Amino acid sequence: MLLQLKAAHGWTDKNFKALLLLLKDMLLEGNLLPDTVYEAKQIVCPVGLKIEKIHACYHNCVLFREENEDLNNFPKCGTSRYKRLKDGGDDGEDNINEKKKGTPRKVAWYFPLVSRLQRMFANKKEEKLLRWHDKGRNKDGMLRHPEDCAKWRHFDNTYGWFGDDPRNIWFALSIDGMNPYGNMSTSHSTWHVLLSIMNLPHGFAINASM
């Protein structure tokens, strides 16, 4: 909770450390409150969710996963998976050292969705919110929520097995690119794929970044 406050209010590491030391001094002797920001982050790291970093084609041809996981060149365009090594070697597969292959040209960061949904359903409060569209929504025929629209009802009627279980999740997908450093002269960009959960009541938002 202290780390959440730090992030929400933009506290510096120096200020946060001073707060930790003050609280530690106020608590009983022998308490386990961390002394530094690093120690505080080490406490929450084990409860973090997994992130997968997947090498991607420089020309967006393919991801290096599953049957392509061990390849050094892109199967369609033939471009090297890795950047040119600093020693001036060629980009060809024969010049890539097995022990030091270099930096990948492009990486896709993937946040697995299933583990996040499992964590949401493990929390009683969030589990109730995820089923609100079926159990808590005002069903008076007025258009107040996406489930009130004709397309949602058409989908439920077409795929009854999905609509019959209120635990099934509806997503709205959006994707857009951004230049993270504000430098329009560079070709570097970041693309976010956001899945917004539509089951939730108004005023709540749980996004799953991929």
Nearest to 69 by CA among 91, 85, 84, 54: 54
Phi-psi bin for 141: left (phi > 0), alpha (psi -120 to 50), beta? left
Return phi, psi of residue 4, to 5°: -65, -40
Residue 157 has pLDDT above 50, yes or no: yes
pLDDT digits (tens, 9 = 90+) for 49-104: 677 888 887 777 778 778 777 777 777 777 777 876 554 444 444 444 444 567 88
Residue 144 has pLDDT above 60, yes or no: yes
Structure tokens at 12: 């510096």
pTM: 0.48
Please report the pLDDT score of residue 186 as a whole number: 59
Please report the pLDDT score of residue 184 as a whole number: 56
pLDDT digits (tens, 9 = 90+) for 111-136: 788 878 888 888 888 888 888 888 77
In 3-state terms, what secondary structure has residue 173? strand
At residue 73, what is the residue type? N
Q: What is the C-alpha to C-alpha distance for residues 51 and 156, in angstroms, rounded to an integer?
A: 33
